[in-house]
Amino acid sequence: MSRTLMLLRHAKSAWPDDVPDHERPLTGRGRRDAEQVGRWLYENSLSPEFALVSSAQRTRETYERLAAQLDAPPKLSVTDSAYAAGAGDLLDLVRGVSFDVNRAILIAHNPGVGTLANLLDDESSDVPERTHMRLEYRTAACAVFEVDGSWAEIDPGSARLVAFSVPRG
């Protein structure tokens, strides 16, 4: 059984004075980019069923803006464990996704998300945007992978990159 995993770096966030990093909101461009990602997912029949989202304000806002563009918002799980997490910790979170979910999105932060995307990629597909994914995992960048087997079985080099998109905000 093939599953779809989307790895999304949160959209562009602001750096207001006296606001802790965890509470930083999206900028106007970030809000527009998150909506654009949602439309892109919808238009490409990639609407996730389940969203695993860092507890940071900017990731939760990214989810809300993205979900508003879909037919139905994905079931949401907000977790502190994705905030400032490295690739290994993010991979552990993905491995914990319920077996009955076929399309999941992880919305988190760099460098963890970008590192995880590059770690999972088995490099078997011909996706021209792979170079962009490798060089710079910009805000609102979304990598889409096909994964065979269960979520618990995902290992480095075990996912096929099928798309990579960055809004042009």
Residue 49's contacts (CB-CB under 8 Å, 6 or more residues apart) are 74, 75, 101, 102, 103, 104
Q: How would you list the strands of the sheet with 103-108, edge to edge?
A: 75-79, 50-54, 103-108, 2-9, 142-148, 159-165
CA distances from 63 to 16, 91, 124, 134, 158 (A): 21, 19, 30, 24, 26
* pTM beyond 0.85, yes or no: yes
pLDDT, one tens digit per residue, over 109-121 is 999 999 999 999 9
The CATH number of residue 138's host domain is 3.40.50.1240
Domain extent for 137:
2-165
pLDDT, one tens digit per residue, over 40-77 is 999 999 999 999 999 999 999 999 999 999 998 899 99
Report whether pLDDT(169) > 60.
no
Q: Higher-confidence residue: 146 or 131?
A: 146
pLDDT, one tens digit per residue, over 156-166 is 999 999 999 99
pLDDT, one tens digit per residue, over 77-101 is 999 999 999 999 999 999 999 999 9
Instruction: Kindly state the average pLDDT of the residues 9-31.
Output: 96
Per-residue exposure over 50-67, b if at least 16 CB sit within 10 Å of its own CB, e if not: bbbbbebbbbbbbbbbbb
Report whether pLDDT(12) > 60.
yes
